Structure 1
Amino acid sequence: MVNAAAPSPAPSSALLTDHYELTMLQAALGSGNADRRAVFELFARRLPEGRRYGVVAGVGRALEAVERFRFGAEEIDFLRRERIVDEPTLDRLASYRFGGDVWGYPEGEVYFGHSPVLVVESTFAEAVLLETLLLSIYNHDSAVAAAASRMTAAAGDRPCIEMGSRRTHEESAVAAARAAYVAGFATTSNLEARRRHGVPSGGTSAHSFTLLHDTETGAFRAQVDALGAGTTLLVDTYDVHEAVRAAVEVAGPGLGAVRLDSGDLGALAVEVRAQLDDLGATGTRIVVTSDLDEHAIASLRSAPVDVYGVGTQVVVGSGHPTCGFVYKLVAREGPDSVMVDVAKKSTDKVSVGGRKYALRRRDPDGTATAELVGIGTPPVDDGDDRALLVPLVRDGEVVGREDLRVARDRHAAARAELPVTATQLQRGEPAIPTRFV
């Protein structure tokens, strides 16, 4: 079980939002419509161009953020001082607690265009305020997870290490490490991700450590003395083959791994593997890093590489840093207290009104064939359609919290359920179609 250390009291998430969420509340309070029942849906109209599936990530982070969405004295004083909203609105915000229901795709699940990834049922006043917070978490984490999933699929049974902390905002780095782990990465370099989320971490040394010492051999000896022969030695600071010879000389044939961070990684891996074997270090692994993405990983499939270290491309979504998720009102209470379906109809931004259900249709072999999205009561499960929405919040209380490894296992199963074309790296259409039923 992945358990994080008990965190310090977390700050309010209430101001991680857009100004207009609060001004909408003020106007709705003034018109008498703030407490109308409402249903909001978080979805993407389409997958990022060329992608065959998306990955839901950030669910656990979002649930924690909703719990912390409170306007305390500090937040209210700021809003009053800056004259963001009027006093009646401030009074309402001071007592804000989300008391509705949330349904969603569980973390690690895959999604497609128009999949109702999140359904929020509450009053307009309660649900509208969560828009920006939920979108910022889901758009970032799911983009990272989608890229990470493509990378782990390309890597096969060879582990991937997330090491992109230095290539993004410090808080984004923590979230990215978590999302990459959900999508199959084995470890992260980020210690805060380990402390906060329980993601396994690892790390040894950089080129600066080698350059600090008078000789490369001296650097290797210092590292082995400190960390043991099972450590990973960085061998491309100077001459790779001389470094490999020195590494085995210092650590012995039980050397854990060598890391290559530059040059033609495929050709070098072949040469280094042969050299290690000749030196008797047949169990020493080869780790490669240096601007890897899913395509580079796939190109190294035939090389004797054991571990991939990925930095920039995983934390920026490998070309797609956001998922295009939107958060739209799809139903609201009418004058006669009956729920009315509503939808945006503008060109290129059409949405479908109504509270949705979602099913994953599968063939007799268990392979997914379609994403079924309907309005109203879902049909009785006939064994071929897997229900996708699960309860996350009920009457304001979080009920969907789970261990991160559950999400990780779920993703592996959901990806394996897709047609084999899903993991092809060429640009293509979604692996399965979305059908409204």
Structure 2
Amino acid sequence: MDTSTALRTDRYELTMLEAAIARGTADTPCMFEAFGRRLPGARRYGVVAGIGRVLERIRDFRFDDAELEWLSSHEIVNPSTIEWLADYRFTGDVWGYADGEAYFPESPILIVESSFGEGVLLETLILSILNYDSAVAAAATRMVTAASGRPLAEMGSRRTHEDAAIAAARAAYIAGFDATSNLEAGRTWGIPTMGTAAHAFTLLHENEEEAFRAQIASSGTGTTLLVDTYDIAQGVETAIRVAGPDLGAIRLDSGDLPTLVVDVRRQLDRLGAHATKITVTSDLDEYAIATLQSAPVDSYGVGTSLVTGSGSPAAGLVYKLVARQGDGGSWVPVAKASAGKRSVGGRKFATRVRDENGIARQEKVYLGLGPEDAQAIPATERPLLHPLIAAGEINQQHIGSDGTHAARAHHADVRAELPADAFRLGRGDPALPTTFVE
């Protein structure tokens, strides 16, 4: 199976390369930057997710015989460009925010320092990953806030592309979700998996009692029984009669949840099932979860809203050339001046400024400095850019299962330093201002 990611890109990346090769500028040292001009959905902070996946995809970004043959036979680029692509391996440097980090408008989330040719080819790949994963993570962190410490499970695989489902599970887990229904995400990223039965299993049997007995015989009384296929009150009564008061949980997937869960909790208690928990899974988003804060819900399962970014399916990140080396070897800042699409040129280094209580108050971006200048940053500021690739060599700590779990822990630390205003669910201004310092 071909594992190359080289054609997961837009044609104009290659046509730009072709023109640069012809002009003799393809090897010009350049600096590209991924950032967002604003936060999606007027949210108060964004969450970086997908960095580990970007690194793995860059590792596999190469033009093998199959890719070169296709490009040649379809006359996408000329023979000299085909020859250049045959030797492509990314040999530059990449610095970036860690997975799980918060970001704000103009945060330099990812910096790619390489030749123009090497860096320009990565634009589409980088943005397709970061825009989706960060959108899911931004939605997930809001749901974590609304859940107020109650467990959350990602279960949106049937509501998105099969590969996106795996990416969404990773992004949600980084942002604080506790489990996923997707087994490939569990295998690939080491995320805990969960799942019991759907309505189809109940409908397979002559009646609800028969279905419950079959599930308990297979999974034990600690399982979760879905009780809303028919009449909910009858389903709860049957569940406890069959499983006994030690039934692990019941699941509700329909109905007026704020009222329903109160009634079900009372019924469970009357039946002596005081330890039986209630999980709900009915088209939830952060607002629906927030309305259930005072209800006796024990856990949530979220699908459609999560994997579609809860109204913001893309994070709105862009990838721009911000500097190139001049004849004397110094960096020359370059920037767009288009109305509504401006960019800030030049090398940058970003920090998070915190007050005496450890609460974040500002995103500070130093212009003209690079990651190698980190020692010049005041000790009171937390550096945000980390080495991800050095001379083409990937920093392994950011990828795989270990990288995913480290990102989850990092996000928990990041949330702890954000001001309280960051966690409001209503539309509003970014929780931290971004300040550029010359």
Structure 2 partner of 1:345: 337
CA shift for structure 1 position 338: 2.5
Q: Does 1:41 align with 2:33?
A: yes
CA shift for structure 1 position 10: 6.5
- For 1:326 and 1:50, the matched residues in 2 are separated by 17
- For 2:356 and 2:396, the matched residues in 1 are separated by 30
- For 1:343 and 1:401, the matched residues in 2 are separated by 33
Structure 1 partner of 2:129: 137
Structure 2 partner of 1:117: 109
Provide Cα deviations, 1:253-275, integer angstroms capped at 9, x if missing partner. 11010000111111111111111
Q: Does 1:200 align with 2:196?
A: no
CA shift for structure 1 position 400: 4.9
Query: Alignment partner for residue 382 of structure 1, among 368, 378, 381?
Result: 378
Structure 1 partner of 2:429: 429
Query: Alignment partner for residue 394 of structure 2, among 398, 402, 412?
Result: 398
Structure 2 partner of 1:4: none
- For 2:57 and 2:337, the matched residues in 1 are separated by 31
Query: Alignment partner for residue 300 of structure 1, among 289, 292, 302?
Result: 292
Output the TM-score relative to the length of structure 1.
0.97
Structure 2 partner of 1:420: 420
CA shift for structure 1 position 335: 2.7
Structure 2 partner of 1:31: 23
- For 1:273 and 1:146, the matched residues in 2 are separated by 32
Q: Any conservation in 2 of the 1:63–1:401 contact (CA below 8 Å)?
A: no
Query: Alignment partner for residue 259 of structure 1, among 243, 251, 254?
Result: 251
How many residue pairs get matched?
Answer: 429
> Which amino acid in structure 1 is aligned with residue 385 of structure 2?
L
Structure 1 partner of 2:226: 234
For the residue of structure 1 that corresponds to 2:387, the secondary structure is strand
CA shift for structure 1 position 200: 1.2
The alignment-based identity, stated in percent, is 60
Q: Any conservation in 1 of the 2:34–2:318 contact (CA below 8 Å)?
A: yes
For the residue of structure 2 that corresponds to 1:253, the secondary structure is coil
Structure 2 partner of 1:6: none
- For 1:381 and 1:364, the matched residues in 2 are separated by 17
Q: Any conservation in 2 of the 1:291–1:310 contact (CA below 8 Å)?
A: yes
Q: Does 1:146 align with 2:138?
A: yes
Structure 1 partner of 2:147: 155
Provide Cα deviations, 1:137-168, integer angstroms capped at 9, x if missing partner. 00000000000000011101101110111111
- For 2:291 and 2:70, the matched residues in 1 are separated by 53
Provide Cα deviations, 1:152-186, integer angstroms capped at 9, x if missing partner. 11101101110111111111111101100100111
> Which amino acid in structure 2 is aligned with residue 409 of structure 1?
A
Q: Structure 2 matches for 1:275-286, cutoff 5 A?
A: 275-286=267-278
Q: Which shifted more, 338-347 or 76-85?
A: 338-347
CA shift for structure 1 position 278: 1.5
For the residue of structure 2 that corresponds to 1:326, the secondary structure is strand
Provide Cα deviations, 1:56-84, integer angstroms capped at 9, x if missing partner. 00011110000000100000000001000
- For 2:248 and 2:429, the matched residues in 1 are separated by 42
Query: Alignment partner for residue 65 of structure 1, among 57, 72, 75?
Result: 57
CA shift for structure 1 position 277: 1.3
- For 1:381 and 1:347, the matched residues in 2 are separated by 33
> Which amino acid in structure 2 is aligned with residue 13 of structure 1?
T
- For 2:81 and 2:278, the matched residues in 1 are separated by 60
- For 2:396 and 2:50, the matched residues in 1 are separated by 12
Provide Cα deviations, 1:347-394, integer angstroms capped at 9, x if missing partner. 111101101100100110000001001112357343321100000000
Structure 1 partner of 2:157: 165
- For 2:150 and 2:2, the matched residues in 1 are separated by 36
Q: Any conservation in 2 of the 1:293–1:310 contact (CA below 8 Å)?
A: yes
> Which amino acid in structure 2 is aligned with residue 433 of structure 1?
P
Structure 1 residues not aligned, in runs of 5+: 1-8
> Which amino acid in structure 1 is aligned with residue 27 of structure 2?
D
CA shift for structure 1 position 236: 0.6
Structure 2 partner of 1:78: 70
Q: Which shifted more, 265-274 or 308-317?
A: 265-274
Q: Which shifted more, 69-78 or 327-336?
A: 327-336
CA shift for structure 1 position 252: 1.1
- For 1:48 and 1:245, the matched residues in 2 are separated by 45
- For 1:22 and 1:301, the matched residues in 2 are separated by 51
Q: Structure 2 matches for 1:12-31, cutoff 5 A?
A: 12-31=4-23
Q: Structure 2 matches for 1:86-97, cutoff 5 A?
A: 86-97=78-89
Q: Any conservation in 1 of the 2:41–2:311 contact (CA below 8 Å)?
A: no
Q: Any conservation in 2 of the 1:109–1:410 contact (CA below 8 Å)?
A: yes
- For 1:432 and 1:342, the matched residues in 2 are separated by 26
- For 1:224 and 1:176, the matched residues in 2 are separated by 31
CA shift for structure 1 position 212: 1.0
Q: Which shifted more, 68-77 or 369-378?
A: 369-378
Higher helix share: 2
Runs of 4+ with >6 A deviation: none
